[in-house]
Amino acid sequence: MMNENIFDPEKATIVSELKLTHQEKLFKIQLDNGESLNHKPGQFVELLAPGYGEAPISVTSSPTKKGPFELCVRSVGTVTNKLHQMEEGDKVGIRGPFGNGFPVDFLEGKDLLFIGGGLGIAPLRSLINYVKDNAENYGESTILYGCSEPSERLFVDEFSTWRQCDDFRCDETVDSCPVDVDWEGKVGVITELIPGVDFHPATTYAIICGPPIMYKFVMQELDEANLPDDHRFLSLERRMKCGVGECGHCQIGEYYVCRDGPVFNYAEIKDEEEAL
């Protein structure tokens, strides 16, 4: 059982760390009490680097995978820079899981269109693998992924695995490719992949996560495809601190991303100026 005081971190240990790109690492973490995190896909934790503070990180592993959980961490600040210096066996603190997560029960029986940009594939990975492990409960899944260049691609091996699943389709693109890099895939922004997907708006739900600038253009493409507003779920990236809606750092209009999200239905927030 996690600590009853939500502000008191649970002790945990880094089981392994794997370099994915020059700025992202995949950490496998085990709670010292031996329990699983018992999160929902789309939830996040507050990760404490002792002596340096804490940072909100989405859980990237599926809850169907018991034992240690996984966090994909980009080195962008004091806490995450310190974490990138830590090794197997080092101690960290964990608060959470927090947030609402993706509506896995509601999505049963639906066709799913995953749209991930950059690090946004990390929280989507949790749901993608959850759907893969419960494939009999879901329709067809299409995964669209875009990043800045080939060296920035995340979870490359898993894309190969997903492509082999009967009900999964994957397509990738990069914004640009250096002339000295061997890349046989597509070059262009992620929105250029959407018109190439054959889906039925009445039975398809889009699951979207990526950098803030991406959402506006993805919404425009989904409008063109006649996908209803309430068939779109977005995981929003905002500066979260407390994790429980107390500090106000992540407030957008009447919503707190950490408490009411981070997953929102587009129909709920489309009129909130600060949301997208």
Residue 242, annotated as binding a ligand = yes
**How many domains does one find in the chain?**
2
Beta bridge partners of 94: 10, 47
Global pTM reads 0.93
104: in domain? no
Domain with 26 in it: 10-98
Q: At which of 66, 98, 130 does a domain end?
A: 98
* Domain boundary, last residue among 75, 98, 121: 98
Residue pair 60/70 in contact (Cβ under 8 Å)? The answer is yes
Query: Is 209 within any annotated ligand binding site?
Result: no
Query: How confident is the model at residue 243, as a pLDDT?
Result: 57
User: Residue 155's domain is classified under what CATH number?
Assistant: 3.40.50.80
State how far the Cα of 145 lies from the Cα of 172, in Å rounded to an integer: 5
Cα–Cα dist 34/59, whole Å: 18
User: What is the arrangement of strands in the sheet containing 232-235, beginning at the earlier edge strand?
Assistant: 186-187, 168-174, 141-147, 111-117, 204-209, 232-235, 263-265
CA 214 → CA 7, 116, 125, 169, 237, distances in Å? Answer: 33, 9, 18, 21, 11
Q: Examine residue 220 and state whether it is found in any structural domain, yes or no.
A: yes
247 is in an annotated binding site: yes
Identify the DSSP state of 59.
B
Residue 66: inside a domain, yes or no? yes
**Residue 275 pLDDT:** 67
Q: Please give the angle made by the CA atoms of 67, 261 and 28, to the nearest 5 degrees.
A: 20
Per-residue pLDDT at 162:
97
Q: Would you say residue 265 lies in a domain?
A: no
The reply to whether 250 sits in an annotated binding site is yes
Helix (H) or strand (E) holding 163: helix 156-163
Amino acid at 241: K
pLDDT of residue 151: 95
Place of tokens 């990043």: 147
Helix, strand, or coil here: 229?
helix
**271 domain-assigned:** no
Claim to verify: residue 210 and residue 131 sit in the same structural domain: yes
Task: Report whether 130 contacts 107 (CB < 8 A).
Answer: no
Average pLDDT of adjacent 10-residue blocks, the chain of 276 residues: 70 98 97 96 96 95 96 95 97 95 98 98 98 98 97 96 95 94 93 97 98 94 98 82 63 77 91 74
Query: What is the structure's pLDDT at 70?
Result: 98
47 and 125 in one domain?
A: no
Single residue among 235, 256, 271 that ends a domain in this structure: 235
Contact between residue 112 and residue 131 where contact means Cβ atoms under 8 Å apart: yes
Q: Which residues pair with 31 in a beta bridge?
A: 12
| 2 part of a folded domain | no
> Which candidate, 173, 171, 234, 236, places its Cα nearest to that of 208?
234
Secondary structure letter of residue 261 according to DSSP: -
Q: Output the pLDDT for position 155.
A: 97
Residue 1 is assigned to a structural domain of this protein: no
Residues 123 and 88 in one domain: no
Name the one residue in this structure whose structure tokens are 């961490």.
73
Is residue 97 reached through a cis peptide bond, with omega within 30 degrees of 0 on the bond before it?
yes
